[in-house]
Amino acid sequence: MRLLVCGGAGFIGSNFVRVRARDHGDDVVVLDKLTYAGRRENLQDVEHEFVHGAIEDPAVVTAAMEGVDAVVNFAAETHVDRSIAEPDAFVTTHALGTYVLLETARARRVRYVQVSTDEVYGSIEEGSFTESSPLAPSSPYSATKAGADLLVGSYHHTYGLETLICRGSNNYGPYQYPEKLIPLMVLNALHGDRLPVYGDGMNVRNWLYVEDFARGIGHVLEHGVPGEVYNVGGPDETTNLDVVRSIIEYVGASEELIEFVTDRPGHDRRYSLGSEKVRALGWEAQVRFAEGLRRTVDWYRDNAWWWEPIRSGDYRAYYERQYGRALG
């Protein structure tokens, strides 16, 4: 299959490209704007064609979609804290970018997969969201992702475009930018820096190893029913504080590094996805959280070449703005 993977130079996109090229022999074209989160290094070991451009640019998108069998869209602004500080790019990429991709896919009658998130359902105290749960997003990030999902659904309903939506829970694993909880805590623990836990640390996330999500998206691409939404949730739920304590244990750092800091505004308490529908298609998560976290800690420990340029570049200024203190 020839695939156009938008946002394929980011964390999940690059893991998806690796899985598809290695295990399925797909021809992959990556279209990526290379924001701070997109890096060619993430794909240095994978054969692919690369187009540098934005999904909101119709000329670039039209050329990149030439001759492909399907489009998988990962391209997004993905950090909730950044969406609270500066929402502009979230609106442009999620609303306008998704619209341009859908229009182009409609003109070419190309199957279209939108990669979405459990955050579109909002927070849930007990039980799990199903695909028919109402959308109740809380942040500019999740609200613009929810808007994109609604637009995707409308292109199936109105124009008969073959669309699919995959809503994943919190991913972790190799190549994740260290603004997100797990890589941030791993790198800080390895460096003996403070570990900033928001609020009381009792928020719960439903952790999904990135290769499991990549396989799940591929499964939906191949076997999903057009017009449908599929939740792809991880096998384990954990409080943030327990995640941080496990990282401390695996790295061999001290619990004294933990520092409780001001909570994120509008912070969702708990996410939980029911994934029965995608399981019925034959997908199952293979990596439990304890195993995936060990693999992730090992990967960051062994791949300083990947994170050293990040920790010594613009990221330092982001860190100082976000946490009010310099990175050690």
Q: Which residues bind ligand NAD (CB under 6 A)?
A: 6-7, 9-13, 32-35, 37-38, 54-56, 74-78, 93, 97, 115, 117, 145, 168, 170-171, 177
80 binds, among ligand DAU, ligand NAD, none (CB under 5 to 8 A by kind): ligand DAU
Which residues, at least 6 apart from 38, have a Cβ–Cβ distance to it below 8 Å? 7, 9, 10, 32
**Could you identify the residue written with the tokens 């808007």?**
147
How many Å is the Cα radius of gyration of the chain?
Answer: 19
**Whether residue 27 lies in the annotated active site:** no
Which one is catalytic: 26, 32, 56, 118?
A: 118
258 binds, among ligand DAU, ligand NAD, none (CB under 5 to 8 A by kind): none
**Residue nearest ligand DAU, Cβ-based:** 117
Is the CB of 98 or the CB of 117 nearer to ligand DAU? 117
55 binds, among ligand NAD, ligand DAU, none (CB under 5 to 8 A by kind): ligand NAD
**Minimum CB separation from ligand DAU for residue 10, in Å?**
10
State yes or no: residue 233 binds ligand DAU (CB under 6 A).
no
| Gap between the Cα atoms of 88 and 83, Å rounded | 8
**Could you identify the residue written with the tokens 């069998």?**
69
Is the CB of 181 or the CB of 229 nearer to ligand DAU? 181
State yes or no: residue 80 binds ligand DAU (CB under 6 A).
yes
315 touches 308 (CB < 8 A): no
For 301, the token pair is 């420990």
Burial 213-233 (b: 16+ CB within 10 A, else e): bbbbbbbbbeebeebbbbbbb
**Could you identify the residue written with the tokens 């999500």?**
213
**Minimum CB separation from ligand DAU for residue 184, in Å?**
5
100 binds, among ligand DAU, ligand NAD, none (CB under 5 to 8 A by kind): none
Is the CB of 253 or the CB of 289 nearer to ligand NAD? 289
**Minimum CB separation from ligand DAU for residue 205, in Å?**
5
**Interhelix angle for 11-24 vs 210-223, to 10°?**
60
State yes or no: residue 198 binds ligand DAU (CB under 6 A).
yes
**Whether residue 119 lies in the annotated active site:** yes
238 binds, among ligand DAU, ligand NAD, none (CB under 5 to 8 A by kind): none
State yes or no: residue 205 binds ligand DAU (CB under 6 A).
yes
For 169, the token pair is 């829970």
Which one is catalytic: 119, 193, 211, 212?
A: 119
Ranges of H-type helices in the chain? 11-24, 58-64, 80-85, 88-91, 98-108, 140-159, 181-191, 210-223, 240-251, 276-280, 289-302, 304-311, 315-323
266 touches 142 (CB < 8 A): no
Is the CB of 184 or the CB of 214 nearer to ligand DAU? 184
Q: What is the DSSP string of 260-287?
A: EEPPPTT---B--B--HHHHHTT-----
**Whether residue 193 lies in the annotated active site:** no
Chain residues binding ligand DAU by CB under 6 A are 78-80, 117-119, 169-170, 180-181, 184, 196-198, 203, 205, 240, 264, 271
Q: Which residues are catalytic?
A: 118-119, 141
